[in-house]
Structure 1
Amino acid sequence: MTQWEEFATGEDAVVRRMRALDAALPARDGVAVFNRVRLAVAEAVDRRLRAGAFADARAAVTLDVRFAERYLAAVDAAGEGRRPPACWRPLFQFRRHPGVRPLQFALAGLNAHVGHDLALAVVDSCRALECGPTELEDEFDQVGDLLVTLEERVREELTPGPDLLRIADPLAHLLGAWSLERARDAAWAAARALWTLRRTPDVAGEFAERLDATVGFAGRLMLTPLPGEPNGSQSSGSSTGAISS
């Protein structure tokens, strides 16, 4: 197996796993809504990898695979009756709530994944590659740019249409303050802090715990059930899975 094939195999594995989840979960399940978003990112990374768009393919794949694996580990934990990280618990708890909109599920998943998982994935990747965070900054930015571009599509495709504008008002207030770009910047700062603290594991562990809890609290607020049409009967066709790569 060539080095390029080894990189592609790692990315292929997470893409296959997310595609299997997409096929297995009901379309309106909150985890399924976020999974389609994350799958689109993984497929975009895979296409860029095959096109030679990454200057350091090994670093890019290591970061994205470690990043995806944290989300998939949370799915496994919930499926096996174990407690997922605090940042993911709201999504699993409210995944079938009829008063939660698909846009809430998508952005709450991004909040958990970017706000918590991305910082830890940078540290995981640094350990695997024997480098510091600054050496992964280009790859971090490229993956982050894909996420920001996709967030714009998520908001456009999953926001209720004009006929639901009245009930969407509280949704706009609830989610309008959250920004993926700010979450990404915070994740980079947290990754650098965790890397600096790696020689004091007790402090690093406490920092990671508090990060997890803080992101989880924000996710719980984002999933506040709203009045109006239940998500199962929204007229927006995007709620069943228009997000794609």
Structure 2
Amino acid sequence: MAQTDQLAARTGVTAGRSVDGVVARMRALRASWPSTDGVAVFNNVYLTVTEEVGRRIEGRQFPDPRDATTLDVAFAERYLTAVDAVAAGRRPPACWRPLFQHRRHPGVRPLQFALAGINAHIGHDLPLAVIDSCRLLDCEPAALEGDFHRVGDILERLEEQIREELMPGPDLLEIVDPFTHLIGSWSLERAREAAWSAARILWTLRELPVLAKEFRDGMDANAGLVGRYLLTPLR
């Protein structure tokens, strides 16, 4: 119980939280931010994904709804904790700083904001959410691998729709256009694979806190570096 309480105090992740609860938070954020805000662009994308996951959990498309809910909520609360940190004047994790710093930059396009947010959330938050969930559910990462991939598959299926909705007009999509090169250089599939590997490594390092912290810090910094690249102003 003490470990669970410490986890909740550190990350905001608690047992028994609902997908509806995090969806309500994201909807409230959508209502409070202008649509041109870069964080709002990502929030709208992530809200769509979370709503879809919630529908599938309710439709019994996950073998264990409790496990799926725990992972989905732990994942979402990592993002919401970053939002709360910025609102309170604190620094969010390094992976989120580029998006919050550039959220109103006129030279960054909506799809860049969306991909930068997905990169931060997959590259840093997802491995940590797996570990959070394992501790809450008292299980090994292998027990959550199926749910991990099911959630990832939903995101990948929605990614094409996201790109179509946020792409500029066809005249800007020439192969020589820097924007085309930029958005084509990041892969959700590779990011998912790296996130699962990172989760397994972190679980192996759980009894070695110094090494685990070094690994988490490096993962955070790397995701932040990729985020800055994705948010390169192009006009």
Equivalence for 2:97: 89
Q: State yes or no: 1:21 paired with 2:29.
A: yes
Q: State yes or no: 1:63 paired with 2:79.
A: no
1:38: Cα distance to partner? 0.7
Residue 73 of structure 1, aligned match among 71, 81, 86: 81
Equivalence for 2:51: 43
Equivalence for 1:170: 178
- What letter matches 1:37 in structure 2? V
Matches of residues 105-120 of structure 1 in structure 2 within 5 Å?
Answer: 105-120=113-128
Equivalence for 1:239: none
Equivalence for 1:10: 18
Q: C-alpha root-mean-square deviation of aligned residues, in Å?
A: 1.5
Residue 201 of structure 2, aligned match among 179, 193, 197: 193
Q: Distance in 1 between matches of 2:151 and 2:109?
A: 26
Relative to the length of structure 2, the TM-score reads 0.91
Q: Distance in 2 between matches of 1:148 and 1:106?
A: 13
Offset from partner CA, 1:190-235 (integer Å, 9 cap, x none): 00000000000110011000000001000001000012xxxxxxxx
Identity of aligned residues (%): 65
Say which SS state the counterpart of residue 89 (structure 2) adopts.
Answer: coil
- What letter matches 1:123 in structure 2? I
Q: State yes or no: 1:219 paired with 2:227.
A: yes
Between 1:48-57 and 1:214-223, the stretch displaced more is 48-57
Say which SS state the counterpart of residue 192 (structure 1) adopts.
Answer: helix
Contact 2:39 2:113 in 1 (8 A): yes
Q: State yes or no: 1:182 paired with 2:181.
A: no
| Count of residues paired in the alignment | 221
Equivalence for 1:241: none
- What letter matches 2:119 in structure 1? N
Say which SS state the counterpart of residue 33 (structure 1) adopts.
Answer: helix
Q: Distance in 1 between matches of 2:189 and 2:175?
A: 27
- What letter matches 1:117 in structure 2? D
Equivalence for 2:160: 152
Residue 202 of structure 1, aligned match among 204, 207, 210: 210
- What letter matches 1:45 in structure 2? V
Between 1:163-172 and 1:112-121, the stretch displaced more is 163-172
- What letter matches 1:147 in structure 2? L
Say which SS state the counterpart of residue 26 (structure 2) adopts.
Answer: helix
1:50: Cα distance to partner? 1.4
| Superposed structure 1 runs of 4+ greater than 3 Å apart | 163-168
Say which SS state the counterpart of residue 174 (structure 1) adopts.
Answer: helix
Structure 2: state its 5+ residue gaps.
1-14
Q: Distance in 1 between matches of 2:147 and 2:170?
A: 39
1:167: Cα distance to partner? 10
Q: Distance in 2 between matches of 1:200 and 1:175?
A: 37
1:131: Cα distance to partner? 0.4
Which has the bigger relative contact order, CA under 8 A and spacing at least 6? 1
Equivalence for 1:127: 135
